Structures are given as C-alpha cells and as structure tokens.
C-alpha cells in the first residue's frame, strides 16, 4: 500500500487511481497537467467554461475567482472572495469559504476550508476540516536549498521539488491559525490544536 492509499481511503476509487505509484508531492507538482487531462473525461453534468468545469449542483458565489485547469464537484460551495488556481480538483460536498486561496491541490469529498485559509500543492483526504486562518504552506523561503525535505517515520524524504505543502489524511482537523509547514504528512484523524505549528523538517 502506498503512502497515498494509507492516508486517503478514496484514492484508489478516484480518477487518480492510476497515480497511486506516485507520491503526494509528485501528484501536486503535476496537478495542472493531471486536472487538464481529466477535464475531457467529464460528463454533461458539468458546465465548462474554458479550463474550468463546475458541476451543475455546485454553488459558486459571485466574486469567487476560478482559474483553470479546475474541476469543482457536485454539491460543493465556493464562497465569494475565494481564489482557486494552479490545477485544483475538488470532490463532492466540499466547502471553500470566503478569503480562501487553494493552489495546485486535490481535495476529497466533505472537506472544508472555513475562511482565510491558504492551502498550496497538497492532497487533502475526505472530511478534512481547516478552521479559520489555518494554512498549509508550500514553500520554504528560510532555507538556501529550495527542494523540500522532511521526516516521515524516522526517515528523511527528499521530494525533489521546491513546492509541496502536505498530505493530509482523512478526517484530520486543523484548528484556527495553526500552520502546517511545507513538507508534511498528517495521519488520518490527526488533530492539530489552534495556533499550533506542525513542522517535519529535519533541518531545524
């Protein structure tokens, strides 16, 4: 079982099943290409405008900024003032609140970003919840070496990419104003307390 399969139960039954051999940071890095390829496989339940496809049952408020390639699934709610860009795929029943920026991220069903969140270059499992102001950062400007590396199960993981946020396991809850530093793997049902910092870098 891959790391993705172990953290996201729906991965194997999703359109991303063929990418199960890749790691989360590789999928995030290729998200624009991957989502672009999925656009032409959608059925007529989606309304498409260029590289943006929105399910007919989804609600997108005026003032939301959508940049393709982007797929928004059924019964999602996208609030005014949100920004979705860089190759995002949003599964059904997800909520993107006001002031949220989502970049190059795959987000599974029932997950919610409350408001004023940033999530970049990440994979979020199902029923993940980020309270107001919490972020998943994707770039380390404090290090001279750009490529992200982090500790996972006692081993240093070299991602080979300068941008990766996190693989957030199913049913994880992140409290208000908490920060997930670039390069992290959160096990399913993790609870991150309000104002907490999760940093798995071996270079601190």
Helix/strand/coil for 48:
strand
Q: How distant is the alpha carbon of residue 154 from its chain centre?
A: 24
Give the model confidence (pLDDT) of 161-204 as tens digits: 999 999 999 999 999 999 999 999 999 999 999 999 999 999 87
Containing domain of residue 118, as a range?
A: 3-193
Does residue 201 lie in a domain region? Answer: no
CATH code, 95: 2.160.10.10
Is-cis flag, bond preceding 40, omega within 30?
no
> The pTM is what?
0.97
- Where does the pLDDT of residue 20 fall: very low under 50, low under 70, confident under 90, or very high at 90 and above? low
Does residue 68 lie in a domain region? Answer: yes
Is residue 1's pLDDT more than 80? no
**Are 56 and 46 within 8 A, CB to CB?**
yes
Structural domains in the chain (count): 1
Helix/strand/coil for 3:
helix
């Amino acid at each position: 079982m891959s790391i993705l399969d172990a953290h996201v139960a729906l991965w194997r039954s999703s359109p991303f099943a063929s990418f199960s051999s890749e790691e989360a940071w590789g999928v995030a890095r290729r998200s624009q290409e991957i989502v672009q390829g999925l656009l032409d496989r959608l059925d007529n339940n989606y309304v498409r405008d260029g590289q943006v496809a929105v399910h007919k049952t989804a609600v997108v408020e005026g003032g939301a900024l959508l940049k393709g390639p982007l797929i928004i699934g059924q019964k999602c709610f996208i609030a005014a003032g949100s920004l979705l860009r860089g190759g995002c795929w949003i599964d059904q029943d997800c909520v993107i609140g006001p002031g949220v920026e989502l970049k190059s991220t795959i987000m599974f069903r029932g997950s919610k970003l409350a408001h004023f969140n940033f999530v970049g270059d990440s994979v979020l499992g199902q029923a993940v919840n980020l309270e107001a102001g919490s972020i998943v950062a994707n770039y380390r400007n404090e290090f001279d070496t750009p490529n992200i590396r982090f500790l996972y199960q006692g081993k240093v993981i070299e991602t080979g990419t300068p941008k990766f946020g996190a693989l957030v396991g199913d049913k994880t809850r992140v409290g208000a104003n908490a920060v997930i530093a670039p390069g992290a793997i959160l096990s399913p049902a993790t609870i991150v307390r309000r104002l907490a910092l999760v940093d798995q870098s071996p270079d601190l």
